[in-house]
Structure 1
Amino acid sequence: MLGYLFPGQGTVRVGMGGWLRRRPAAHDRLREVDALLSRPISPVCARGPLARLVATEHAQIAVTACNLAALTVLDEEGYAPAVVAGHSVGELTALHAAGVLGLADTVRLVETRSRLMAGVGETGGMRAVMGLPVGRVEELAEAASAPGEPVVVALENAPGHVVVSGAVPALDRLAELATAASKIVTLAVGNAFHSPLMAAAVDGWAEAVRASPMRPPVVPVVPNVTGEPTTDVAVLREALIAQLTGRVRWTRTVAVVDETAPGVEVGDSKVLTGLSRRAGARCLSLADPGTLRRLPRTVAA
């Protein structure tokens, strides 16, 4: 058995999905997703331009399309997950993989999510803080925040790899305070995701999520905001809503998945594989051409 890990928005690049388009089943799934969208995403994945692809309204859809296509490859190869999780918007594909969401509802929700988040407008940004424990980054975020200018821990990606999100002046103050950090990197994202600055999108997102039919999962799902496996549909629904402004507890998620089964990154990305290994967890990426040859030995072991 395997733990399926689905990547999120920060993994987009021009040409993404190239290996998937060469697999008939995955190619068909990409075409199916294109048909469900208001505008096809495959041409943007294949040819860009980059500025269009990384925009929030396209990036989330592009990642989800590739995740869904990669999932069909594992289905075709006869694999099934023992547990699933997705990083940020990747949680929608995880819910689909667990049987909670149908394909059309998954695509509709990711299109809604991307539209609502893009519609908030530019309110802030995100920065990766390297080399500090999450507790210390929380202290720095509290010290750097001011009325109307919040900054919070948004992503606990791996030990020593924490992402903060918030108003730009607060991010600047945090950078000045974080003198012991080995590196601080500004992320190329359109806004302050997973922070209170996304509050304007919450009502619309909650309405869309609560209106979507959800079935009990066939395997446990580890939501971002709890980092704990569950098969409770009510918990999964509320966690998906809370995730928009809440923290992605990915370090905990990876540990939980690794306790159950070796992980495989299901998409066109190696980002989660790198984060898993940094946390001491097992993970292979489907974007690595050798992974499908290695999976039988991994499952057997």
Structure 2
Amino acid sequence: MIGFVFPGQGTVRVGMGGWLRRDPVGGAVVRRVDELLPEPISPLCARGPLPLLVDTAHAQPAVTACNLAALSVLRDRGHTPDVVAGHSVGELSALCAAGVLDVDTTIRLVAARSRLMSELAETGAMASVLGLPVERVEQLAAQVAAPDEPLVVGLENTADQTVVSGSARAIERFTAAAADARKIVPLKVSNAFHSPLMAGAVDGWAEAVRSAPMRPPEIPVIPNVTAEPTTDLPTIVDALIGQLTGRVRWTSTMRALSGVDQCVEVGDSKALTGMLRTEGVRCVSMSAPTALRALAGRTAT
């Protein structure tokens, strides 16, 4: 049993997707992504500049282009998943892998998501918290939040690493209060993703999702906000909409993947590979073509 996992926008870097663009199959997908976007993303992936690449409007399409290119290469080599999950915007790539979305629809939805999120006037912040259990982070976030300055757990990445998301002032108070944390690292993001500060984009996102052509999944999908495998399309749609303001329950998602024999991080990233190893789940990354050799011993499906 094999699982495919797809990274999110925090994994962008200049030069990303180089070998995938050079692969005939992967390169064809990237060229199609360039055609569908208002402006091509592949030059930014290849050469930057980094400040422009990490901007939400560009980061999400860039990561998705690499994810879908890697997926196409795997399919071309005869590898298909038994279950899929994606981290944040990576969930859309996972839905493509599960047959819910085709490539064109995936890219159009990612373009809409990135535009809606980047257009929000109110900006927040995010910070990675190391060395505290999620229950403690939740407690501290509730203590320092205010009605007009929310702070929530936006992502549960591992048992030892959580991301808080919300008001920048609330994060300052959180940092002062969390003396028992091993480390708190501000993230280089333009807003407070997976928090109430994304509420202004929800209506537009819900309209985009509900109007997109979708099919029931061919295999189970593990949505971020539920962390429970499902093949029910209405559940998947509701979870995809709720993800904009909801928590990414990646720790629970990884535990739901604990029964697979092998995971593949499908994109140019090793972030999820490292996270999965904290839960004892075997994973290889498509960030290099050596992943194909690692999978070669498996029977293609």
Q: Work out whether the TM-score is over 0.5.
A: yes
Pick which of 264-273 and 279-288 moved more: 279-288
**In the alignment, is residue 38 of structure 1 matched against residue 38 of structure 2?**
yes
**In the alignment, is residue 294 of structure 1 matched against residue 290 of structure 2?**
no
| Alignment-derived partner of residue 70 in structure 1 | 70
Aligned residues: 300
- Structure 2 counterparts to residues 257-272 of structure 1, below 5 A: 257-272=257-272
Q: Structure 2: which amino acid aligns with 1:155?
A: L
| Alignment-derived partner of residue 130 in structure 2 | 130
Query: 1-side partners of 2:258 and 2:79: how far apart?
Result: 17
CA-CA distance at 1:187 after TM superposition = 0.6
- Structure 2 counterparts to residues 116-155 of structure 1, below 5 A: 116-155=116-155
| Alignment-derived partner of residue 13 in structure 2 | 13
Query: 2-side partners of 1:176 and 1:281: how far apart?
Result: 35
| Alignment-derived partner of residue 164 in structure 1 | 164
**In the alignment, is residue 99 of structure 1 matched against residue 99 of structure 2?**
yes
State the identity %. 62
Query: 1-side partners of 2:283 and 2:4: how far apart?
Result: 9
Query: 2-side partners of 1:45 and 1:287: how far apart?
Result: 14
Contact map agreement 1:116 1:201 (CA 8 A) in 2: yes
Q: Structure 1: which amino acid aligns with 2:63?
A: V
CA-CA distance at 1:298 after TM superposition = 5.9
- Structure 2 counterparts to residues 167-246 of structure 1, below 5 A: 167-246=167-246
Contact map agreement 1:265 1:285 (CA 8 A) in 2: yes
CA-CA distance at 1:299 after TM superposition = 6.4
Query: 1-side partners of 2:113 and 2:131: how far apart?
Result: 32
Q: Secondary structure at the match of 2:258?
A: helix
Query: 2-side partners of 1:112 and 1:5: how far apart?
Result: 22
Contact map agreement 2:156 2:251 (CA 8 A) in 1: yes
What RMSD over aligned residues (CA atoms) do the two structures have, in Å? 1.2
TM-score relative to the length of structure 1: 0.97
Contact map agreement 2:145 2:151 (CA 8 A) in 1: yes
| Alignment-derived partner of residue 87 in structure 2 | 87
Q: Deviations over 1:114-167 (max 9, x none)?
A: 000001134211000000001110001101101200100000001110000000
CA-CA distance at 1:295 after TM superposition = 1.3
Pick which of 20-29 and 239-248 moved more: 20-29
Q: Deviations over 1:193-213 (max 9, x none)?
A: 000000000000000001011
CA-CA distance at 1:261 after TM superposition = 3.7
Q: Secondary structure at the match of 2:181?
A: coil
CA-CA distance at 1:279 after TM superposition = 2.4
Contact map agreement 2:258 2:280 (CA 8 A) in 1: no
Unpaired segments of 5 or more residues in structure 1? none
TM-score relative to the length of structure 2: 0.97
Query: 1-side partners of 2:93 and 2:187: how far apart?
Result: 23
Q: Structure 1: which amino acid aligns with 2:244?
A: L
Q: Structure 2: which amino acid aligns with 1:159?
A: A
CA-CA distance at 1:278 after TM superposition = 1.9
Q: Secondary structure at the match of 2:82?
A: strand
CA-CA distance at 1:294 after TM superposition = 1.2
Q: Secondary structure at the match of 1:52?
A: helix
Pick which of 269-278 and 235-244 moved more: 269-278
Contact map agreement 1:154 1:246 (CA 8 A) in 2: yes
